[in-house]
Amino acid sequence: MTTLLAVVIGVLYAAGLYLVMRRSVVKLVLGLALLGHAANLLIFTVGRLSRAAAPIVPAGAERLVPPHADPVPQALVLTAIVIGFGVQAFALVLVKRAHRETGTDDLDALRSTDS
């Protein structure tokens, strides 16, 4: 499972970086979204995957008995997903406004401020 996720993360990073480097603004936003997903899955995987091992103290026991999952990476991922959602929503609106104002989705055409 870890190997599979590692491959998925790698593909997501590659696709995300490829899209970010395209000239189209829409692909840029999609690329940023993929990069966010890649980072989230990376946290999830690096936090060690386990199956059927909820971090709950069993009845009658004093403490958690291994193996148990670590809940912290899942809390981190959840937070990051929410933040990523907000930021990507803003990026979409920004790109829409920029397109309406400049009439192009070519990043190379956005250089009226460069001189």
Binding residue for another protein (CB under 8 A) from 49, 57, 65, 72? 72
CB of 56 to another protein, least distance (A): 17
On whether the CB atoms of residues 85 and 110 are closer than 8 A, the answer is no
Residues 42-61 that bind another protein (CB under 8 A): 42-44, 46-48
Q: Please identify which residue in 11, 25, 54, 69 interacts with another protein, judged by CB under 8 A.
A: 25
Stretch that binds another protein, among 50-58, 61-69, 83-91 (CB under 8 A): 83-91
Nearest-angstrom CA–CA distance, 24 and 11: 20
Shortest Cβ 26–another protein spacing (Å): 12
Q: Please identify, using beta-carbon distances, which residue of 67 and 86 lies nearer to another protein.
A: 86
Report d(CA 54, CA 39) in Å as an integer.
23
